[in-house]
Amino acid sequence: MSEVGPALPPATVRRKRSRRGAIAAGILLLWAIGLGLLARRELFRSHSEQLAEAAMRVNPGAVYFAVLRAGEQIGFASSTIDTTARDITAADYMVADLPIGGEEKRAEARSLVTLSRRLRVDSFTVSVETDSIPFAARGRTVGDSLLLLSTGDVMHPDSSRVKLEGPILLPTLLPLAVMLGEAPKVGRSTTVRVFDPVEQAPKNVKVEIVAESLFTLSDSAKIDSAAQRWVVAHDDTVRAWRLRTDASQPFNPWVDEQGRLVQVDLPGGLTLQRRAYEIAFENWKLAARARGDRVTADRDILETTAIASNRLMKVNALSILRARLSGTELQGFAVEGGRQHMSGDTLVVRRENLAAIAAAGPVRLEGARALEFMNALRPEPGLPRDSAIVATARRIVGSQRDLRAKAELINRWVHDSLSKRTSIGIPNAVTVLRTRTGDCNEHAALFTALARSVGVPTRIAAGLAYVDGKFYYHAWPEVYLQDWVAVDPTFGQFPADAGHLRFTIGGLSRQAELLRLIGTLKIDVVSAR
């Protein structure tokens, strides 16, 4: 039986959650960048003959990048290719100092891909580490129809066998499909079958060439003895094309004719730029030593990725919140429905009334309604109907048959049983049940799997949580009790307070869409009580 510590006060939990969320966001950004550096290779076979010819032109070499944030270099990255008569090996590395919570957090990301001379993947590994928290994703193909996948922390990985039906491509490797196909031309588009590692399912993604430009890149460097910094010795002009995808997590880089990354803007205000090695790496080391561990509000990711409101509120359990949303198009976001209502540009969020829910009587999922909630009851990747999940859920709810009572018992158990810690990677409810640790994603995943296993229709929502006058990323479950009711096992709230602004419904792949709001969405709190 696990040891359950005392519940933390909501204000403490929220502050810790905000910090964990910012750290996790930074880690995932680094991982995404590391994958992005592979954007010219792996798992693509729909144009197999063209790629086989292109593979013969692949030569060993290395390119280097500066990782920038608000114009300041915070990291370094490299991408190296080695070739033999039998295979191609691509190794990528990234390191960055992320200013989070008043401290510098160093994070490293590595990736290694081995391909055949026909550009067919044999194996790949992606790893991320920060603050001694390791995470790795490993894959190995068997023939043309099976991918053996292992993800999670190094000590306790989750293994799965993924069936492949036809050629696929990882989402971040779309430039390969475009640039090694026909000659690049603005306006040309290609639809590619990709494998989404979050949803563990194939889907079609459209990639379009939307612009063409010349970039002046530093080709070599020399030391400036007076400034004690490396400066450009020789420039090189590179023609590049801007790609645009319709994927749920857009990747819109500038790439050269070989599909190699030239420059890309990333969520969180990060930019990756190709540079000469000395300028990308040596100057970053010099700047890091000169800067020390200075972290100010204008550099802190925790502060600058938050969406500030127009008034400072204490961390209380809000019953109603009214806020004007502006600055970005909200079409496609799940801002309307249930506890949320849009009136013009004003979003009104009302916390559900438990007394009214109880008075409405038991929920009956019969006939057409049973079919309606089938998706909110069935297992899915990361949310399996595992024997340990089922046994735990039955032990928690005991003889209760009422859906609301079941949901409340599970919400309290998850809140009390899980340590609130930073987590990396894709949450799996079985792993969370074993490790009893995680952030909001792990809490939401475990609650959802437990609730579904005992017949409670549950879905995962994500959006912004109102903390100390700012809004931060957050995820929480919704259960169906006459209508969809938001609950929060991370904060220990049932139902969740009105400080939860929902923007997406679904798993991590939908949550990635929230990154589009950063830097554009403005929230003016009209009232909160």
Report the pLDDT value the prediction gives residue 454, as an integer from 0 to 100.
Answer: 93
**3-class state of residue 109 by DSSP:** strand
Q: Which residue has the higher pLDDT, 139 or 274?
A: 274
Model confidence at 1: pLDDT above 50? no
Structure tokens at 435: 């490790």
pLDDT digits (tens, 9 = 90+) for 7-40: 445 555 445 544 555 444 454 444 444 444 333 3
Question: What is the arrangement of strands in the sheet containing 320-326, beginning at the earlier edge strand?
Answer: 340-343, 346-350, 320-326, 522-528
pLDDT digits (tens, 9 = 90+) for 441-492: 889 999 999 999 998 989 999 999 887 788 888 899 999 887 899 999 999 9
Helix runs in 181-306, H state only: 277, 283-291, 301-304
Quickly state the pLDDT bin for 269 (edges 50, 70, 90). Answer: confident
pTM score, whole prediction: 0.70
Identify the structural domains of the chain with CATH numbers, from first to last. 16-301 (no CATH), 306-528 (3.10.620.30)
**DSSP letter string over 428-468?**
-HHHHHHH-EE-HHHHHHHHHHHHHHTT--EEEEEEEEEET
Quickly state the pLDDT bin for 108 (edges 50, 70, 90). Answer: confident
Range with lowest mean pLDDT among 149-158, 342-351, 412-421: 149-158
Span 372-382, average pLDDT:
70
Report the pLDDT value the prediction gives residue 43, as an integer from 0 to 100.
Answer: 32
Q: Which residue has the higher pLDDT, 520 or 433?
A: 433
Quickly state the pLDDT bin for 292 (edges 50, 70, 90). Answer: low
Report the pLDDT value the prediction gives residue 502, as an integer from 0 to 100.
Answer: 95
Quickly state the pLDDT bin for 47 (edges 50, 70, 90). Answer: very low
pLDDT digits (tens, 9 = 90+) for 488-509: 999 999 999 999 999 988 866 6
Q: What is the mean pLDDT of the chain?
A: 78
Report the pLDDT value the prediction gives residue 223, as an integer from 0 to 100.
Answer: 92
Structure tokens at 17: 């959650």
Report the pLDDT value the prediction gives residue 106, as an integer from 0 to 100.
Answer: 82
- Rounded CA-CA distance 139/42 in Å is 11
Report the pLDDT value the prediction gives residue 41, as an integer from 0 to 100.
Answer: 33
Quickly state the pLDDT bin for 367 (edges 50, 70, 90). Answer: low
- The number of CA neighbours under 13 Å toward the Cβ of 278 is 14
- The number of CA neighbours under 13 Å toward the Cβ of 192 is 30
Q: Which residues contact 374 (CB under 8 A, 6 or more apart)?
A: none
Q: Which residue has the higher pLDDT, 137 or 448?
A: 448
Cis? peptide before 202, omega within 30° of 0: no
Quickly state the pLDDT bin for 129 (edges 50, 70, 90). Answer: confident
Model confidence at 360: pLDDT above 90? no
Q: Which residue has the higher pLDDT, 125 or 177?
A: 125
